[in-house]
Amino acid sequence: MTISDVARAAGVSVATVSKVVNNRYGVSPATAERVLGVVAELGYESSLVARSLRQRSTNVVGVLVAGFEPYSTELLKGISSAVEGTGYELLAYSGGSDGGSMVGWERRSLSRLAGTLIDAAIVVTPTLVLTEAQGIPVVAIDPHTGPEGTPTVDSDNTSGAREAVEHLIGLGHRRIAHLGGRTDLESARLRELGYRQALAAAGIEVDPGWVRVGGYWPETADAPARELLDPPSGERPTAVFAANDQSAIHVLEVAAEKGLRVPEDLSVVGFDDIPESASCTPPLTTVAQPLHRMGAEALRMVLDLLQGTPREQHLRLPTSLVVRSSTGPAPSPR
């Protein structure tokens, strides 16, 4: 079903059909009506691809993600509700989640879509600096680096992490481990920084063996979580601050498997406050990022950029501690 089919059926040229469906001037009412009739009858709809190849703008904003997991989908919800009424449509593209060359997925996806399919892009957790080279406005959420280059939206990772660890210290914990995030993400670095700051402020020394790389994913967090809960030598920590909810939830699972009671034997704190953190067992104490709002603000920024009225370059939103049932008083020393 192409424009030529319509043209043939209506007995006019493709140019005329194009004019009719795009409401251009220079077509007689009679012809327009006839063409519209054929369009309706055949159920013709112009191909986004062909149209965008030819035209400058598509009215589509791209959301580039590495995969659809709880973090990116929460952002997507915020972006989606913010796009309502703006006249733009959303296209979420998951490139590079697939095996092979995950590195640089954001640049690849951007190159493949920019300039043609999408007018602007929101990139979720890019791991490298996005050059503006693609020629379209780009906003990064939770970027690799601190503010530089592309406009960004993130939350106050350091202070959020500090608050989480202060909460544990306030409960009497002294042996607090950290299951870190992805080393290639600024957020992970900042959360570890907050962890260290809180411990330093309380005069607690950090045991080097209690800081592990968890990689933000359940799979990558598995081995380090087991090492933390089953230390080959030395004492087990009484609390774990995980760099995100997905790995915190995995810690919960490993703990259950090992017969550790949470929070009696072990307290666990996460980061992000994805919906799943409220429904795991026990419900997770975590540092909430305003994910919906971050998504909505990113969309607003990217549309501002598109309309040439950029406001701020970098937006940092506050976090808040949500205390649920995975944290409790430190067990008394044996």
Partner DNA sequence: TTGAAAGCGCTAACAT
Partner DNA sequence: ATGTTAGCGCTTTCAA
Which positions touch DNA (CB under 7 A)?
Answer: 2-4, 11-16, 18-19, 21-22, 24-28, 30-32, 46-47, 50-51, 53-55, 115-116
Rounded to whole angstroms, the Cα distance separating 334 from 140 reads: 48
Q: Which CB sits closer to DNA, 37 or 170?
A: 37
Question: CA 22 to CA 17: how far, in whole Å?
Answer: 8
Q: How far is the CB of 191 from a copy of itself (least distance, A)?
A: 22
Give residues with Cβ within 8 angstroms of 147, minimum separation 6.
313, 314
Residues near a copy of itself (CB under 8 A) are 1, 43-50, 52-53, 67-70, 73, 76-77, 79-80, 83-95, 97-99, 107-108, 111-113, 115-117, 131, 133-134, 274-279, 283
CA distance 17 to 15: 5
Q: Which residue has the tokens 């077509």?
A: 27
Please identify, using beta-carbon distances, which residue of 2 and 320 lies nearer to DNA.
Answer: 2
Q: How far is the CB of 108 from DNA (least distance, A)?
A: 12
Whole-Å CA distances, 309 to 42, 58, 123, 256, 300: 42, 19, 20, 52, 11
Distance in Å, CB of 132 to DNA, minimum:
17
Residue 214: Cβ-neighbour burial (10 angstroms; 0-12, 13-18, 19+)? buried
Identify what 15 binds: DNA, a copy of itself, none; CB under 5 to 8 Å per kind: DNA
The listed partner (DNA, a copy of itself, none) that binds 55, CB under 5 to 8 Å by sort, is: DNA
- List, in sequence order, the alpha helices (H) in 43-181: 48-54, 70-83, 105-113, 157-170
Q: Residue 136 Cβ, how far from DNA at the closest point, in Å?
A: 13
Least distance (Å) between residue 7 CB and DNA: 7
What count of residues does the chain have?
A: 334
CA-based torsion, 200, 202, 207, 210: positive or negative: negative
What's the closest the beta carbon of residue 147 comes to a copy of itself, in angstroms? 23
- Cα 334–chain centre separation: 42
| Residue whose CB is less far from a copy of itself, 79 or 165 | 79
Picking from 316, 256, 290, the residue whose alpha carbon sits closest to that of residue 74 is 290
Report the 10 Å Cβ neighbour count for 19: 18
Report the residue number, 48 or 171, with the smaller CB distance to a copy of itself.
48
Which partner from the list a copy of itself, DNA, none does 40 bind, CB cut-off 5 to 8 Å by kind?
Answer: none
Considering beta carbons, is residue 29 or 232 the nearer one to DNA? Answer: 29
Yes or no: say if 98 and 109 are a contact pair by the CB < 8 Å rule: no
Beta carbon of residue 279, minimum distance to a copy of itself (angstroms, whole number): 3
**Partner from DNA, a copy of itself, none binding residue 16, C-beta < 5-8 Å depending on class:** DNA
Q: Which is nearer to a copy of itself, 176 or 268 (CB)?
A: 268
CB of 14 to a copy of itself, least distance (A): 16
Instruction: Specify the DSSP class assigned to residue 104.
Output: T
Residue 90 CA neighbour count, 13 Å, CB half: 23
Q: Which of the choices a copy of itself, DNA, none does residue 89 contact, using the CB cut-off of 5 to 8 A by kind?
A: a copy of itself
Q: Which does 4 bind (CB under 5 to 8 A by kind): a copy of itself, DNA, none?
A: DNA
Q: Which of 126, 130, 135 is nearest to 103 (CA)?
A: 126
| Partner in contact with 18, chosen from a copy of itself, DNA, none, beta carbon below 5 to 8 Å by kind | DNA
290 binds, among DNA, a copy of itself, none (CB under 5 to 8 A by kind): none
Nearer to a copy of itself, 199 or 299 (CB): 299
